């Protein structure tokens, strides 16, 4: 019986000896290193320096990764492309509208000052990533049809979007927090800018292939990792100076002032003990992408492994 068809059974109470978990979650890895909790993990870890949809999906297919850190689109895209995966941890940001992950980067001289000005413009678009769904939501909020803009498909890895804006290949693109300061520093003098989209873009998930989740030993290790992931999220918020230095400055190569701005903009994490709202939000996203992309309508509840539903929230209640 293929793993996707297996009934996922109860998770063992303890992690069996010699269990290895291959994890692609660089931010949590760094937080655990800075807090010292990385030494407390009750299983062996092989850390992979990757995150995001395309890279985690590629690693899942190669059976080189057990769990990855992504936003809301990769678990949907994976299941649409015959890679059964499920979400095992859910995080948001409190006051998410005022603490967005993305802003719209605007090319110099593009003449875009508000989202309604996107009409007739070229917008960077990655259908398999969170940025792609955000673009679709922005168009809806702006009252624009997809055929009233030109979507230019390209992956959002590294500085791809910023370079596309600078070269005039596109007029607008959703830029992540770490890219925004560098984009303005490099091109603001030429007229480049950032504009807010005013939407919630904050889902932060851990997800894993069903094949991994069907392995009792790995499922037990994943349950423990979800606890550490939740505590790491809280530690980052409660230790901003250490996080700025250890992540933004030392790991990401940003200056301290920029790191402090980004740390403040992230806001307080919101890790729910109940996934009903997350499932509703995910279903809305699935319905949107299925409609614009002519894809089958998945049931959102089917891509959440509810054995893990209370793990992160309960971990934060422990002393």
Strands 122-125 and 150-153 turn out to be: parallel
Same domain, 313 and 179: no
- Over residues 113-125, the mean pLDDT reads 97
Q: Measured between alpha carbons, how far is residue 319 from residues 15, 234, 314 in Å?
A: 21, 13, 10
Same domain, 208 and 302: yes
pLDDT digits (tens, 9 = 90+) for 265-286: 888 999 999 999 999 999 999 9
Position 92 in a domain: yes
End-to-end CA, the chain: 42
Same domain, 263 and 244: yes
Total domains, the chain: 2
Same domain, 207 and 92: yes
- Over residues 55-80, the mean pLDDT reads 95
Same domain, 207 and 245: yes
What pTM did the predictor assign? 0.89
Last residue of a domain, one of 195, 210, 236: 195
Range of the domain at 7: 3-96+202-317
Same domain, 206 and 190: no
Same domain, 190 and 83: no
- Nearest C-alpha neighbor of 80 from the set 295, 305, 299, 280: 295
| Domain at 77, CATH number | 3.40.190.10
- The alpha helices in the chain, defined as continuous H runs, are 26-35, 53-61, 73-80, 130-142, 160-167, 180-187, 210-213, 216-238, 240-243, 256-266, 276-293, 311-317
pLDDT digits (tens, 9 = 90+) for 132-144: 899 999 999 999 9
Same domain, 213 and 306: yes
Q: Is 43 helix (H, G, I), strand (E, B) or coil?
A: coil
The shares of helix, strand and coil residues in the chain, as percent rounded to the nearest 5, are 50, 15, 35
Position 179 in a domain: yes
Position 312 in a domain: yes
Last residue of a domain, one of 166, 195, 224: 195
- Nearest C-alpha neighbor of 87 from the set 237, 266, 281: 281
Same domain, 273 and 309: yes
Q: What 8-state DSSP symbol labels residue 24?
A: E
Position 101 in a domain: no
Same domain, 308 and 210: yes
Task: Give the pLDDT band of residue 95 (cuts 50, 70, 90).
Answer: confident
Q: Rounded distance, CA 23 to CA 47, Å?
A: 5
Q: Rounded distance, CA 99 to CA 201, Å?
A: 9
Same domain, 185 and 206: no
Q: How many residues does the chain have?
A: 319
Same domain, 210 and 280: yes
């Amino acid at each position: 019986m293929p793993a996707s068809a297996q009934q996922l059974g109860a998770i063992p109470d303890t992690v069996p000896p010699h269990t290895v978990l291959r994890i692609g979650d660089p931010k949590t890895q760094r937080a655990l290193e800075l807090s010292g909790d990385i030494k407390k993990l009750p299983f062996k870890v092989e850390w992979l320096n990757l995150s995001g949809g395309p890279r985690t999906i590629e690693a899942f297919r190669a059976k080189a990764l057990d769990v990855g850190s992504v936003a809301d689109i990769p678990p949907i895209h994976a299941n649409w492309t015959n890679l059964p995966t499920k979400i095992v941890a859910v995080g948001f940001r409190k006051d998410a509208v005022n603490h967005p992950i993305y802003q719209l980067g605007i090319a110099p001289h593009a003449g875009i000052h508000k989202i309604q000005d996107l009409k007739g413009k070229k917008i960077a678009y990655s259908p398999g990533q969170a940025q792609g769904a955000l673009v679709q939501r922005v168009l809806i909020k702006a009252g624009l049809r997809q055929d009233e803009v030109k979507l230019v498909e390209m992956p959002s890895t590294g500085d791809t979007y910023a370079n596309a804006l600078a070269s005039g290949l596109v007029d607008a693109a959703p830029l992540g927090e770490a890219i925004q300061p560098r984009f303005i520093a490099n091109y603001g003098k030429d007229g480049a800018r950032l504009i807010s989209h005013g939407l919630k873009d904050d889902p932060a998930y851990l997800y894993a292939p069903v094949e991994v989740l069907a392995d009792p030993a790995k499922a037990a290790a994943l349950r423990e990792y979800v606890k550490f992931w939740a505590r790491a999220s809280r530690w980052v918020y409660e230790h901003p100076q250490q996080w700025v230095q250890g992540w933004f400055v030392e790991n990401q190569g940003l200056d301290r002032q920029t790191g402090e701005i980004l740390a403040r903009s992230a806001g307080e994490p919101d890790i729910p003990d109940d996934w009903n709202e997350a499932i509703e939000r995910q279903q809305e996203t699935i319905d949107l992408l299925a409609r614009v992309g002519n894809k089958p309508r998945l049931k959102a509840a089917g891509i959440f492994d509810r054995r893990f539903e209370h793990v992160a929230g309960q971990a934060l209640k422990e002393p």
